[in-house]
Each structure stands twice: as C-alpha cells, then as structure tokens.
Structure 1
C-alpha cells in the first residue's frame, strides 16, 4: 500500500471515529465540534479568497464575528447565534458597499458561521436530533460514495465540465438514488412511520450536497488552488471533506425551520421538527 493512501485511510478512520463519537455523545461536545468546524472553514475560506493576505483588517472583523458565533453555538443559544450571524453579515455587506472588501467577505461570514449553527442546531440535545444528524450523514455519505463509483462505472455526459470535469450525470443520479435509499433505511429504524417523508427530504439533501461539492470546486478553481488547506493529512482541508455536508446541513436546517413554522406550537428540537416528531 502506498504511504499516501495509508495516511489517507488512517486519518479518515480517525476523523470518522471523532465525528461519530461526538455526534452520539451530543451536548457541549458536539457543539464544540460544530463551532470548531465553522472556525476552520472561515480560516480556509479567508485563505483561499485572499482576504487574510489582502484585507487583513477586514479579516479581523470576520474573525471577531466567527468567534462570537462560535461562542454562542457552544453555549447552545441558537437564537443568539443567528442574531450574531445576521449582525455580522449586515456589517460585512456594509463594508462591501463602502468599497472596503469584496463580496467574498460577506459570503464567507455566512458560509462559515451558518455551518456551525446548522450542525449544532440539527443535532440538538435529544434522541430525535441524534437520529436526524445520522440521517444527514447517511444521505451525504451515500451521495458521495455511490456518485463516485457509479460515475466511474457508467460514465457519460459531464455534469459541470467547467467546474468539476470528473463529475457525470450518471454519478449524480446514482448518488441521489442511493441517498434516498440510505435515508429511507435510517428513517425506517429511527423515525417509525416517517418513511414517506424521508424520501423527499433525502432527495433534497442529496441535491444540496452535490451542489455544495460543486460550489467548493468552483471556489478553488476560481482562485487556482488544489486543496482548501493541508489541515487533514492525506485529505487536504476541512472544506474538502465537508463541502457536501455543509450544504446538506443548510438545507436540513432551513427545512426544519420551515416545518416548525408550519406546524406551529412548541418545537422541542430542529431534529424533531425535520421529521415532525
């Protein structure tokens, strides 16, 4: 086995153990992990888009915003974290229109900040949150793995050749179908009676997951970088590993919020709201 492949496998196993362990434990442990992922994503985003190198003072404002959001996420105050995100986004937009920064700055504020908020919000502190988070993982992982193998096996027309030349329509469709199957299986055991609802949710999350993958590919191609960073041995950066998960969590977070508004009344957790339990 080649040393690089061996390193990739070992670091991948360690990452999976850490993430799944924190997800199962929940509470402040998962909140800290969520906040850390958000901070690392902002670091990579600001490096890739050259905010750190070309606009250091503006980037300090970004770091203050991300640190405040991360603290609110760790404290478990979903409402305050969303308020902080909105405030710093408005500030970033103001700096952009004042000519002090580019549109990449407000985009990075939302991309990184909402990642930590969405992850922590979906997991919550109850069993429904755990099952909802495992559902999201299953959908994203099934999408990534099966899209890769089915795309390589079948080939065919490219999905977005100018952004990611290796991706095909056959892989995208195969990944989505696999995600729906995986999501339904998780829902069958975790959310009894919600299998019919799981299929369309899994479909939406899979589409968003693949969109997130393409989005990160676009960003890296736009700025001429191969990996988002070198933080993870053999894998590149955090964004390289969670690009699909980020967009899938955004979609799950928004869907849960929408469902809770439609249902009305007291919402125990976003994970519960996602499946109406």
Structure 2
C-alpha cells in the first residue's frame, strides 16, 4: 500500500505538469518494463549485453522524442532502435522484439494523450481511474459472486462475474468522472469506459499468459509488494493503445463527440 501510494502521488504531480516531466517518468518506466520483459524472455540473471541495452535505450528515448516533436518521430526511433537491436539479438528474438515494440508504443500513446492541450491531463487521469476501477470491480465481483472462471489456465482467480464487475465499475467511475469535471457527453464517456475495461482485462490476461509461458510469477521485484512495473501497468498500456487509436481515427479527443 505504501509503495503504491508513493508511486500514485509522484505520478499525479508529474502528469499535472506534463511535458518533459511526464515524458521523463514514462521513459524511465518504459526502460524498466523493457528490461523486465527481456528478463522474462531471455532468463533472469543472464546479464544485459549490447542488443538489450540498445533496445531499452531506444524505447525510453522514443517517449522523449514523441514529446519533443511528435508521436510519429517517437515511433520511428522505437522501430529503428528495436530493429538494430534485433539484428544483433540471438535469444528468443520474436518475443523480445514484440514485447519491446508493444511497451514502447503504449507508453508513447500515453504521452500523446497527455499532450492534448485541452484534455490531456483529464484524459490520462480518467484512463488511470478507469483501469483502477477495473481491478476493484473485478476483485469484488469475483469475491462476491464467484462462478465460472474466465480463463482458468492463464488466470485461475478471474471469473466471468469479475469481468462483469469490472465493466460495471468502470462505467460508473467514467460517468462520475465526466459529471464531476463537467464534460459535455457523460453517457458517451461511460460507454467508452466500458470498452476500456474490456481492453484492460485483455491486457492483463496477455501478460498473465506470457508469465505462465515463461514460467515466472512476477515480471520483477522493482515495486515492493506489487512485483514489477509491467505487472501493474499491463492493463493501462493496452487501454492507452486503444484510446489513442480511437482518438487518432476520430481526429479529436475521446471527450469530444
């Protein structure tokens, strides 16, 4: 609880300032998660050689570049750095590259959402609150109602009742948030929150399946009591990718309709 509270307060202040502050925090998180992913794939304690350092640095730098110029430039740095590292990489290449690109792209999307001059901070705050609601709703839905498992081979504790609880809680938080900050379309925001809930649960299941595949319990021990950063941000990254994609396709913030 203490480590989660400290991280939450720091993240809130940093994202409130935005710009290079949020980009730097996201870059640090990106580098840490790419390192965690490589440790899961290649094997813990194997050491970090030049290809790994290059991929980690490229993914972190991509977020900074995306903030200073534009997301497209960040994606270019991510792709080029990962490609060069992939040429030198020899162990579990397809998993290492896929994970690096996924993590880097998701964190660039979070920074892109924050850089919206009108709704940037609100968009990131909404996204984080909805993902937290997914965890809370899923926990209580599963504990209170139980029932059939969602995907027992990958996540033995997740149930269909928990999934429904996640969606309902996310919708409720989305609606309350929209009304509290005076958004013009609270019903639409609540509907989008339900979509985010489904995507966040999917992101969590993807990471859980990866950990089972590679035979690890936690992505790392960087966060006391929580495992790794990747364990905490798996749902948020998946949700950020979808929200950023929807915003890009629509050509405007998800808070505008």
Same fold (TM over 0.5): yes
For normalisation by structure 1, the TM-score amounts to 0.84
| Corresponding position of 2:37 | 45
Give the counterpart of 1:124 among 107, 115, 130: 115
Establish whether residue 182 from structure 1 lines up as the match of residue 162 from structure 2. no
CA-to-aligned-CA distance 1:152-172 (integer Å, 9 cap, x gap): 111000000000000000001
Contact 2:28/2:60 (<8 A) preserved = no
Structure 1 position 93, deviation (Å): 7.0
Shift of 1:51: 6.8
* Structure 1 position 58, deviation (Å): 3.5
1:200 pairs with one of 191, 201, 204: 191
**Counterparts of 1:89 and 1:258, CA distance in 2:** 26
Q: Give yes or no for contact 2:171–2:194 (8 Å, CA) kept in 1.
A: yes
Task: Report the counterpart of residue 205 of structure 2 in structure 1.
Answer: 214
Q: How many residues align?
A: 256
Determine the structure 2 residue equivalent to 1:263: none
RMSD: 2.3
- 5+ residue gaps, structure 2, are none
TM-score of the superposed pair, with normalisation by structure 2? 0.90
Q: In 2, distance between residues paired with 1:64 and 1:147?
A: 35
Structure 2: distance between partners of 1:122 and 1:129: 6
Which shifted more, 209-218 or 27-36? 27-36
Q: Does 1:17 align with 2:9?
A: yes
Matches of 1:101 and 1:244 in 2, distance apart?
24
C-alpha separation in 2, matches of 1:100 and 1:242: 25
- Give the 3-state SS of the residue equivalent to 2:150 in structure 1: strand
The whole-number CA distance in structure 2 between the counterparts of 1:63 and 1:122 is 22
Deviations 1:38-58 (A, max 9, x none): 111101001111178388454
How far apart are residue 215 of structure 1 and its match? 0.9
- Deviation string for 1:213-233 (max 9, x for gaps)? 111111111111111111111
Distance in 1 separating the partners of 2:112 and 2:159: 33
> Does residue 29 of structure 1 match 2:14?
no
Residue 254 of structure 2 is matched in structure 1 by 274
| Alignment check: 8 A CA contact 2:113 2:244 kept | yes
Matches within 5 A, 1:68-83: 68-73=61-66, 75=68, 77-83=70-76
Deviation at residue 27 of structure 1 after TM alignment: 2.2
By how many angstroms is 1:190 displaced?
2.9
Aligned with 2:93: secondary structure?
coil
Task: Point out where structure 1 has 5 or more consecutive residues left out of the alignment.
Answer: 1-8, 261-271
Q: Does the Cα contact within 8 Å between 1:220 and 1:228 map onto a contact in 2?
A: yes
2:237 is the alignment partner of 1:257: no
Q: Secondary structure at the match of 2:236?
A: helix
